[in-house]
Each structure stands twice: as structure tokens, then as C-alpha cells.
Amino acid sequence: MRGSIDNSLVRFDYDLPDELIAQSPAPQRDASRLMVLRGPLTEHRTFRDLPQLLACDDLLVLNETKVVPARLRGRRSGGGETELLLLHPADSLRYDVAAKNWIAMSRPARRMHAGDRITFGELGEARVVRELAHGLREVEFSVTLPFEEFLSRAGQMPLPPYIHNDSMEAQQRYQTVFARVAGSVAAPTASLHFTPEVFRAIERRGIEVARITLDVGVGTFRPVTAESVDDHIMHAEAYEISEAAASALQAARADGRRIVAAGTTVVRALEGNLAAFGAVTPGRHATDLFIRPGFRFRATDGLLTNFHLPRSTLLMLVSAFAGVQRIREAYAEAIALRYRFYSFGDAMLIAPER
């Protein structure tokens, strides 16, 4: 499809008033607004309506990744404060508390050089081993306690830079109620709206739920700077599909039932898996799949998602799913109706046709 689709970056831009960037989560997770796109029709609901908006034979797929307190603030050996955002171990894309060497985003990167040390009080230090592109560094840790405990004491939840709210509530709410497998540096935000009550309603309707994991990393939120979207290079992210989830996905596909992905990370894992192996294949894998207009979806029929930043790969994915013009119109309507945007904002369901 390369060259046949207009994927210039400007097509994925829009203006958003600052006051619509949600700085705090909704008082109740499932009270968030939910825009429903069903073909040319648009409905305005609340998230707690989701179970009634799905068909009883749908398969809902969740990403049960858990965000780790991967943002570390310390002091450089040359003086001055610095910040590290740990992405993954240096030799693996998978989260591993036994790893000593990590790839991290650093700030200010221009002052972080090989050999520099960052101290974290009495908890330990990190040494810069290598300088990498895009502000990344390989750092080696020497800490005085188990690494997971070190992160819990020295680290913070990596809230996005557009959220200017470091309150304890914001830290605690930047995690899904079903998070289980540690490994992400950003939340699967579409799933922040789920509550036990919503899950009970899903269960009462008999809707099947499958759970996978994708460790959300720099590939998800790295900005697009190329003038043409097709020139952007995605970083790989690790994911895992269990035997049980693979069986559920294969059965749904065989039966012609709809697969509804809770979040763009689920879409990326499922479509990446099918693109790589030709069939749903369980196990631990990684994908650098970049989904943008022109992509043919084979593994997902419906998508639950939040409202995304302009010029982002996430906006490109939802534009590929629903159509560029359809998403532009939906975002304009959301702005006019004062929907709340981004991680702590409202949600959208791109529903499959019944």
C-alpha cells in the first residue's frame, strides 16, 4: 500500500484547547464519557454502558500489563538533578528485576555522558555505560536492596508530560484495576475506565474475556517527526499470548465472532502476531508493527480507545481502523462537546457493525 495512501503528517494534526487535556481522572472510573462510532452513526454514552454495547458472543481482549514506577530522579556526579525513565533491560525487551543494565530515556540528555554517575541517596547509583540515539542511554545500576524494592522506594509512576499532577491519587489511578504483569512504562489507558462493576455486567451478559500482555514502551509514545508517516520507524515492544488466550482467539475467529480490543496495545499485539506467524501463535514475542492508514486489519473487529495526541502513532492507528476523515470528524465533535482528552480523559468505542 506504500505510496497509494496520503500519509503526510499534517493529516493527523488537530488543535486542542489546553483545558480539555484531563489533568485528573474522573471521580469514578466508569463514569467517563464514551463516544461510540458505529459506521456513520455516533452515540454519546458513559463507560458503564459498555457491556450493553457489546454483543453477547463478542470476545473482549484486555492487556493486563502493570505499569512500574520507572521514573527515577537523582543527582549527576557533575552536579545537578537528572531524570531517568527506564524502558527495558539492555539485553531484552522484557521487564526483568534481575537485570543490572537498562536502556533509559534521560533528561537532560545532553549532559549525560558515558562514565557519569547518578546517585539516588542511600539507595544506590547508576553509571552511564553508553550514549545511544534519541536521548537514550544504557545505564548500569548498583543498588543496596532488591531492584523491585529500589524502584518502589526511589521511583515514581511515569505519568505523561502533559499531566501536571503528581498527586498520590494520580499516581494510584494510573493503573488498571486488573493490572497483573509488571513491565510497562505507560498505562493501557483505554482500560483505566474498567471497574469491578463493569466486569460483573460483562460476565452477566456472557461476554468472553481474554487477557494478554504487551509491555508498553517507547514504541507507543515516541513522537513522529518525519514529514511522511511512512518514514517513521517504530521501536519494538514485547508481548505475550498465553495458550488459553490463543485458544479463545482462534475459536472466535473460527466461529466468525467479533474480537474487540481494549486499547491500541492489544491491537498491536494481535495484528503483529498474525502478521508475523499467519495464525494466532502463543508465546513470548515482540512486534515493531506500525499500523497506519492502508493497513488491513485481520485480527480485530472492534476497538475501545482513548482520545490521542495529534501527530501520534496512536492517532494513526485509530485513523487506520475507522478512517482518517471519520476520526477527524469524531475528534472535532468531541472537542465541541468538551470531551476530556488523553490518558485521564474519556473513551471511544469504534464498534463493529452488527
Read off the pLDDT of residues 38-67 as tens digits, 9 standing for 90 and up: 999 999 999 999 999 999 999 999 999 999
Claim to verify: residue 44 and residue 96 sit in the same structural domain: no
Domain boundary among 127, 156, 185: 156
pLDDT in the model for residue 354? 57
pLDDT in the model for residue 143? 96
Claim to verify: residue 288 and residue 179 sit in the same structural domain: yes
CATH of the domain at 329: 3.40.1780.10
Residue 273 identity (one-letter amino acid): N
Domain boundary among 130, 156, 182: 156
Domain assignment present for residue 162? The answer is no
Domain assignment present for residue 179? The answer is yes
Claim to verify: residue 184 and residue 293 sit in the same structural domain: yes
Claim to verify: residue 84 and residue 58 sit in the same structural domain: no
Domain assignment present for residue 251? The answer is yes
The stretches in the chain having pLDDT less than 70 are 1-4, 219-221, 353-354
Look up the domain containing 112 and give its range: 71-156
Claim to verify: residue 76 and residue 44 sit in the same structural domain: no
Cis bond leading into 51, ω under 30°? no
Claim to verify: residue 329 and residue 242 sit in the same structural domain: yes
Domain boundary among 126, 156, 186: 156
Domain assignment present for residue 53? The answer is yes
Domain assignment present for residue 40? The answer is yes
Read off the pLDDT of residues 68-85 as tens digits, 9 standing for 90 and up: 999 999 999 878 899 999
Instruction: Tell me, rounded to whole angstroms, the distance of Cα 158 from its chain centroid.
Output: 12
Number of structural domains in the chain: 2
Claim to verify: residue 132 and residue 225 sit in the same structural domain: no
Domain assignment present for residue 290? The answer is yes
Domain assignment present for residue 161? The answer is no
**CB-CB contact of 94 with 65 (8 Å):** no
CATH of the domain at 107: 2.40.10.240
Claim to verify: residue 139 and residue 276 sit in the same structural domain: no
Domain assignment present for residue 186? The answer is yes
pLDDT in the model for residue 42? 97
Claim to verify: residue 271 and residue 328 sit in the same structural domain: yes
pLDDT in the model for residue 233? 82
Q: Evaluate the CA torsion angle 256, 262, 267, 273 in order and state its sign.
A: negative
pLDDT in the model for residue 1? 38
pLDDT in the model for residue 235? 85
Claim to verify: residue 227 and residue 261 sit in the same structural domain: yes
Claim to verify: residue 239 and residue 334 sit in the same structural domain: yes
Claim to verify: residue 208 and residue 297 sit in the same structural domain: yes
